[in-house]
A = this chain, B = another copy of it.
Amino acid sequence: MSMPGISMVKALNNGLRRALQDDPKVLLMGEDIGRLGGVFRVTDGLRKEFGSLRVVDTPLGEAGIVGAAIGLALRGYRPVCELQFDGFVYPAANQIISQLAKLRHRSGGAITLPVVIRIPYGGGIGSIEHHSESPEVHFAHTAGLKVVTCSSPQDAYDMIRQAVAADDPVIFLEPKRHYWSKGDVTDEPPAPLERARVTRPGTDATLIAYGPTVPVALAAADVAAGEGRSVEVVDLRSLSPLDMDTVRESVHRTGRALVAHEASLSHGFGAELAARIQQEEFHFLEAPVLRITGYDTPYPPSRIESDWLPGVDRILDALDRSMSY
């Protein structure tokens, strides 16, 4: 099946449809995902197609959604939850961190919880507060969870199906500002879910991004190319586990690493990357690992969010700094 020029929303929709078709134990649940098709229409039409027992409009309660999903998984189902926005994941923190992540381990492997938690995340779409958060570190720091994020329609289509098929709980982060970006999608066998991808090869520096910042990183690499600098862009795709092999190989070659993400700087995802890279490539780094991130403040009002977010210019400035070491 070839799907030319479809949006990430449509790619996710197609991926979920395939998952529902492929396995009768898959079901979707969340606030407004049924009749409405989700506030971003990711589940559009699926309730009609698969019925209200498999595409479930839930009561308004995030702990309930994740807690009930755990129970469904204990009964042999593969629930795919939608939490409506990044900022509304915290009421479910207890169920995610203390229950979902730990139950398999606690049971010595007797319990398998193939639960996917989809979260539209990140800023840049002019939203109101609590609708532009980047909570990835809370999950990446929690043993027992997989955390992944897509940056293109093709990855969205492949990765959501891989996440549903995975036997571990997966936090599936959808960069909402790229929901409407289009791309061709095919049914080729995808790369493993845990694998990072070198999206643009380069030799002078490695620019690591994921989810919302991947297109930004590619744009920055474009400009840098015009300035005579060859930037390699790595799209992490999987935040946990982290594909350090791909990162290491790249930084080893370029000697320079930069990380771009929207979450606040302090204890953001870049911290772990920097910590690992400086340790594993100590003798090969020509400059410190630099981070281009959101600031250590709450996410700002939308009229000034574009300055707050790590953009092309801030990445290029950091590249200058890196190259000047």
Binding site for B on A (CB under 8 A): 63, 87, 90-91, 93-94, 97-98, 101-102, 105-106, 129-130, 137-138, 140-141, 143-144, 240, 242, 263-264, 266-272, 274-275, 278-279, 282, 287-291, 295-298, 325
Contacts and interface: CB of A to CB of B under 8 A. Distances in A.
A140 B90 contact: no
Contact of A137 (B105, B263, B267, B287): B267
Contacts of A93: 90-91, 93-94
A266 B295 CA distance: 21
Given A269-B267, A275-B275, A106 B298 contact: yes
B240 A266 contact: yes
Tell me what chain A mostly uses at the interface: helix, strand, loop, or mixed: mixed
Contacts of A279: 274, 288-290
B278 A267 contact: no
A298 B143 contact: yes
Nearest to A294: B143
23 contacts: A63-B91, A87-B98, A90-B98, A93-B93, A105-B297, A140-B267, A141-B266, A143-B264, A240-B266, A242-B266, A267-B271, A267-B272, A271-B271, A271-B272, A271-B275, A274-B275, A274-B278, A275-B278, A275-B289, A275-B291, A278-B289, A279-B288, A279-B290
Given A143-B296, A298-B106, A90 B94 contact: yes
Contact of A288 (B129, B264, B271, B282): B282
Contact of A298 (B101, B129, B138): B101
Shortest 7 CB-CB distances between A and B: which pairs? Answer: A274-B275, A93-B93, A90-B94, A141-B267, A278-B278, A271-B271, A279-B288
A315 B300 CA distance: 41
A106 to B, nearest CB: 7
